[in-house]
Amino acid sequence: MRLFASFIIVLVRICEKMDGFLFRVQQLLTGILPALLPPHELTGMIRNHYDASYKDVATRLPETWYKWTLESWEEDVLARHTMTSGTILVLGAGVGRESIALAQRGFSVVGLDINRESLCIASQQATAKGLTSRFAQADFLALPVGPARVDYLFMSGIMYSSIPGRERRQAWLRSLRPCMSEQGLVVLNFLIARELGTKTHRLIHRLNRLLTMLPGANQSYQLGDTCSQNHFLHAFVDEHEIRSELHDTGASVDYLSWHEGHAVLTWSRNGADPLNQPGA
């Protein structure tokens, strides 16, 4: 029996080693996807990721599993910017976590998400709580909102990082301007890079730089682009990167917390569009 137990222990160690090795291979393979796939395929993968994770969610998870509360950074944003009423557009609303919490505080909330199943839960929950928040299935990369309607736009769940490519993120941000009321604020949540110094990540980045030289590769690949569980995210490398990216859109950064990964933007209050100024 002792001999058998020793044999099992050896097998367990071999499995552990293989597990670590396979994990690194998987990290490497998913790490090179952002350099191989064009941006529209990366965003397509994100949709598939959420379609799979929300599949049959209403029957799979009990209601007690959800929390319809704000995260502490979101609470801070409301307090710091004295947001107490107005229209809020929530992008990537999911099952309605922040939409419902915001509606309970008296905001008029519209939540958009690409996934229908998650919105059904959000909508049922809003009705059960006697709230008038509205939810609609839409792609936040092609906003179906008319000019100058929205007081606040919220994009939580680090979804600003889900848009591949600096220029695409900037073009998307610029496209928000006409949707916002004059004093409108855009609240964005982004991912900050914590692991880029590891050997595996350095190797992935070197490989990706080589891959982007091949025809058909993703030319908008940047250091910080990652893919995990088929979900693309851009992790910002430092505060300068996110600040300069936001600043170059012509928006003013009202507030930015690097450590909490969020920013509050507005556009020029005097009505002038810095992008249309001579020399811009």
Ligand X SMILES: C[S@@+](CC[C@H](N)C(=O)[O-])C[C@H]1O[C@@H](n2cnc3c(N)ncnc32)[C@H](O)[C@@H]1O
Q: Which residues bind ligand X (CB under 6 A)?
A: 46, 50, 92-94, 97-98, 112-115, 118, 139-141, 156-157, 159, 162
Nearer to ligand X, 123 or 162 (CB): 162
DSSP structure class, residue 160: G
| Contacts with 160 (C-beta within 8 Å, 6 or more apart), sequence order | 169, 188, 189, 190
Cβ-based nearer residue to ligand X, 78 or 141: 141
Q: Which is nearer to ligand X, 94 or 250 (CB)?
A: 94
- Least separation in angstroms between residue 99's CB and ligand X is 8
Q: Measured from the CB of residue 156, what is the shortest distance to ligand X in angstroms?
A: 4
Strand partners for 265: 186, 253
Listed in sequence order, the DSSP H helices in 177-220 are 199-211
Name the minimum Å distance from CB 280 to ligand X. Answer: 29
Tell me how far CA of residue 264 lies from CA of 113, 185, 252, 260, in angstroms.
21, 6, 9, 12
Give me the least distance between CB of 90 and ligand X, in Å please.
7
Distance in angstroms (rounded) separating the CA atoms of residues 214 and 159: 29
Kindly state the tokens that stand for 154: 């919220």
Task: Assign 27 to helix, strand or coil.
Answer: helix
Determine the distance from the C-alpha atom of residue 265 to the mean position of all C-alpha atoms in its chain, rounded to a whole number.
16
The 10 Å CB-count burial string (b at 16+, else e) for 237-250 is eeeebbeebbebbb
Pick 19 or 139: Cβ nearer ligand X: 139
Q: In the complex, what is the shortest distance from the CB of residue 263 to ligand X, in angstroms, rounded to a whole number?
A: 16
Distance CA 264, CA 197 (A): 28
Of 208 and 218, CB closest to ligand X: 218
* C-beta closer to ligand X: residue 94 or 165: 94
Cα gap 264→253, rounded to integer Å? 6
Residue 106 Cβ vs ligand X, minimum distance, rounded to whole Å? 20
List the one residue out of 130, 62, 47 whose CA is nearest residue 92. 47
Least distance between ligand X and beta carbon 97 (Å): 4
Of 35 and 46, which has the nearer Cβ to ligand X? Answer: 46
